[in-house]
Amino acid sequence: MAERIPLSLHVPEPAVRPGGRPDFQYLSIPRAGAVRRPPVDVPAHEIHDLAYSIIRVLNREGEAVGPWDPGLGVEAMKAGLRAMLKTRAFDARMMMAQRQGKTSFYMPSTGEEAVACGFQTALEKGDMNFPTYRQQGLLIAQDWPLVDMMCQVFSNERDRLMGRQLPVLYSAKEAGFFSVSGNLTTQFVQAVGWAMASAISGDTRIAAAWVGEGSTAESDFHAALVFASVYRPPVILNVVNNQWAISAFQGIAGGESATFAARAHGYGIPSLRVDGNDFLAVHAASSWAAERARRNLGATLIEWVTYRAGAHSTSDDPSRYRPKEESDAWPLGDPIERLKNHLIALGAWSEERQTQLRAEIEDEVLAAAREAEGYGTLHDGPKPSSAAMFEGVYKEMPRHLREQRQEAGV
């Protein structure tokens, strides 16, 4: 009888740890413009190859090339550049506020700005995003008031959520921004259900679900894909692959053996894999998926290949699990620099105008921060009334809560 070889368990490990040389050899990047653009009514099985490539528009020379070039006008691109710069400046100001003790917690989106800001350009009023805690760009790209967002982060008297949510878990129904959940992936199922309701009622609005690559390991992700496959609701299923789920690299969630876009194949859902640091590619792929949804062709899953350039949150120190130089070595570059370079190549922008715009935005963000701080911060100034904890749940407050509120004297 042949001797049996002892079994062993495979535990994925990142290619490099702190002190090592950054290594992105696992990421195969095609040249810009090389990936085909199929018609929006293409059957899912005919575009399986697109889940294993990366849709790119901007090349290294700053030119927009290939079939996915959306042909965006200069003013639209300038608006996108401004939205990304404002998102980054907002993040920097709120990170500083946390270090100063003005809020307890913050989560930046540094390096990922093109995903949210570019995606929002494909939506219409009435559509609904079901975001995670790193899609603040969806609001900022709509020129949502920064003061409103900051008041939520500070949990002050102007906090529209009255202190009930962790900082950065925004909610703005008017902006098509569903309340962010701190529980991972719950919003994926909710987005599919919302889209089903839109279809059932004969509406024209579509939904967009958001998760990070690590959250695709949650059961809610697969439950959402089952319903999206069976009922074909008008929903875009976004997976933001920023390479790291806190300290767990993307291989732990299954990215070592297949792409996250490929997870849609088993459900018969069309999927794309897109350069998330290319604003034009983000706009083009988002518009393609939105058109499918509006034409009643069902769901599309998009994997956005990007990189979390900063810490996961103010509670995280990425230097403990990845090389400090890794963000600089990311092969898809900085989304702001890439769009800026494209505008310069067109003769519609300059380094001087970039510097001026950045300064204007930083002044705008600083002014908003000062106004928001005037309404209170974590430790100073007015807070939401403690009576708010009894409100907003029941249409008619039950007796036991009325009694508790009376006992509390609020």
Confidence label for 343 from pLDDT (cuts 50, 70 and 90): very high
pLDDT tens-digit map of 145-155? 999 999 999 99
Alpha carbon separation from 278 to 38, 239, 284 (Å, rounded): 19, 16, 10
Q: At 96, which amino acid appears?
A: M
Q: Which residues have CB under 8 Å from 401's CB, separation 6+?
A: 390, 394
- Give the CB-side neighbour count of residue 265, counting CA atoms within 13 A: 16
What is the Cα–Cα distance from 220 to 188, expressed in whole angstroms?
7
Full-model pTM: 0.96
Partners of 303 in beta bridges: 239, 273
Comparing C-alpha atoms, which of 276, 275, 309 is closest to residue 117?
A: 276
Mean pLDDT of the 274-303 span: 98
- If you average pLDDT over residues 278-295, what whole number do you get? 98
Rounded-to-integer distance, Cα 133 and Cα 168, Å: 6
pLDDT digits 0-9 by tens, 181-197: 989 899 999 999 999 99
- What is the per-residue pLDDT for 294? 98
The span from the CA of 375 to the CA of 367, in Å, is 13
Q: What is the DSSP letter of 263?
A: G
Please name the residue that has the structure tokens 């967009």: 208
137-171 burial by CB neighbour count: b if 16+ within 10 A, else e? bbbbbbebebbbbbbbbbbbebbebbbbbebbbbe
pLDDT digits (tens, 9 = 90+) for 37-55: 999 999 999 999 999 999 9
Q: Is the pLDDT of residue 307 over 80?
A: yes
Task: Give the tens place of pLDDT for each residue, 200-212.
Answer: 999 999 999 999 9
Count H helices and E strands in the chain, helices first. Answer: 11, 7
The domains located in the chain, with CATH, are: 44-310+321-379 (3.40.50.970)
3-class state of residue 252 by DSSP? helix
Computed over every residue of the chain, the mean pLDDT equals: 96
- Which residue type sits at 27? L
Using one digit for the tens of pLDDT, what is the confidence trace for 208-247?
999 999 999 999 999 999 999 999 999 999 999 999 999 9
